[in-house]
Amino acid sequence: MIARGLLFVWIAVWMVLGFVWAPVVPVLGDTTRVLYFHIPAAWVTVLALAWSMIQSVLYLAKRRMEHDDHAAAAAELGILFCIVATISGSLWAKAMWGSYWNWDPRETSIFFLLLIYAAYLALRSAVDGEERRARLSAIYSAAAFVAVPFLMFIVPRIYDSLHPSPILPSPREKGSMDPRIRTVFLAMLVGFTALFWWLLSLRTRFARVERRRLDAAAAGA
Amino acid sequence: MRPPPGHEERRSIVNGNLVVMGVSLLTWAATFFYLLRLERRIKDLEKP
């Protein structure tokens, strides 16, 4: 409970500091604050999909259903945070570039990522039988993750993009991002990451309860 | 180049930022308390 309270205060305080303490980037103006939500959401998307892939591989190796629960929950959360990143990015694009959607390489990549993982959820809901569903979706998730670094990191660097790149300056370029902006940004990354682990634990615990109930119903039938 | 905002314009920008900050905080608080309630329910379901 204390950890939950700390998470609430952490995100709320850094959110306020993002508005009242951190300066704005002159080019971005007041829209600078979108940075504190948009990039942490995109980071959690990659983290969640990587976790889904790791748990899928573990499922294939050990055939334990907890790994399947984790893989499914992480993929669902990956999609959720991907939607948050897409919506916040779209609003930011409207403010900066005058249009909600520009088919920029990063926008196109995130769109394909959403399609790939929507297919993962469709696969899970289409296959009957717990073991079979877990095995097929583990294979799909492990294979689908190959596209993640390609779509998130490689494609946007190959083609000209409206997005600024890199987002975080390299150590050689130290000083190109205001230290106060960097502090709030990194603090929000930490906050979003903690929020992801909490959501993941809730979803996997619920999946366990659901399975226990189904097992009890099957045993009673 | 756009001239720097005047006194009135600056005040409306500040007010706009405060509104966005308030909405963000409210959204976060609502999400957080919803998740806490959800966790309590899951805890109840976990009881044998």
- Residue identified by tokens 């502090």 is A183
pLDDT tens series, chain A, 221 aa? 789 999 999 999 999 999 999 998 888 888 889 999 999 999 999 999 999 999 999 999 999 999 999 999 999 999 999 999 999 999 999 988 889 998 888 888 889 999 999 999 999 999 988 899 999 999 999 999 988 888 877 777 777 767 765 555 555 555 577 899 999 999 999 999 999 999 999 999 999 999 888 888 888 76
pLDDT under 70: residue ranges of chain B: 1-5, 7, 9-11, 13
* pLDDT the model gives residue A165: 57
* Least Cα separation, residue A144 to chain B (angstroms): 29
Q: What's the CA gap between B14 and B33, in Å, rounded?
A: 28
* Least Cα separation, residue A198 to chain B (angstroms): 9
- Residue identified by tokens 């409206």 is A162
Q: Does residue A10 lie within any of the structural domains?
A: no
| Residue range of the domain that includes A125 | 37-162+175-220
Q: Does residue A24 lie within any of the structural domains?
A: no
Q: What's the CA gap between A68 and A66, in Å, rounded?
A: 5
Q: What's the CA gap between A66 and A58, in Å, rounded?
A: 10
User: Are B29 and A12 in contact (CB < 8 Å)?
Assistant: yes
* pLDDT the model gives residue A104: 85
- For B28, which of A4, A12, A205 is closest by C-beta distance? A12
Q: What is the distance of C-alpha A125 from the center of its chain?
A: 21
**Is A139 in a helix, a strand, or coil?**
helix
What is each CA distance from A75 to A22, A44, A106, A213, in whole angstroms? Answer: 33, 11, 20, 23
Q: Does residue A47 lie within any of the structural domains?
A: yes
Count, residues in chain A: 221
* Least Cα separation, residue A77 to chain B (angstroms): 14
Q: Which helix (H) or strand (E) holds A67?
A: helix A65-97
* pLDDT the model gives residue B13: 66
User: Are A206 and B20 in contact (CB < 8 Å)?
Assistant: no
* Least Cα separation, residue A12 to chain B (angstroms): 6
Q: For residue A168, give both structure tokens.
A: 């975080």
> Taking CA atoms, what residue in A is nearest to B17?
A19
Q: Does residue A1 lie within any of the structural domains?
A: no
Residues B16-26: tens digit of each pLDDT? 888 999 999 99
Q: Does residue A133 lie within any of the structural domains?
A: yes
End-to-end CA distance of chain B: 68
Q: Does residue A53 lie within any of the structural domains?
A: yes
Q: Are A191 and A41 in contact (CB under 8 A)?
A: no
Q: What's the CA gap between A146 and A148, in Å, rounded?
A: 6
Q: Does residue A11 lie within any of the structural domains?
A: no
Q: For chain A, what is the domain count? A: 1
User: Are A12 and B21 in contact (CB < 8 Å)?
Assistant: no
Q: Does residue A26 lie within any of the structural domains?
A: no
User: Are A206 and B39 in contact (CB < 8 Å)?
Assistant: no
Residues of B in contact with A7 (CB under 8 A): 32
Reported ipTM: 0.84
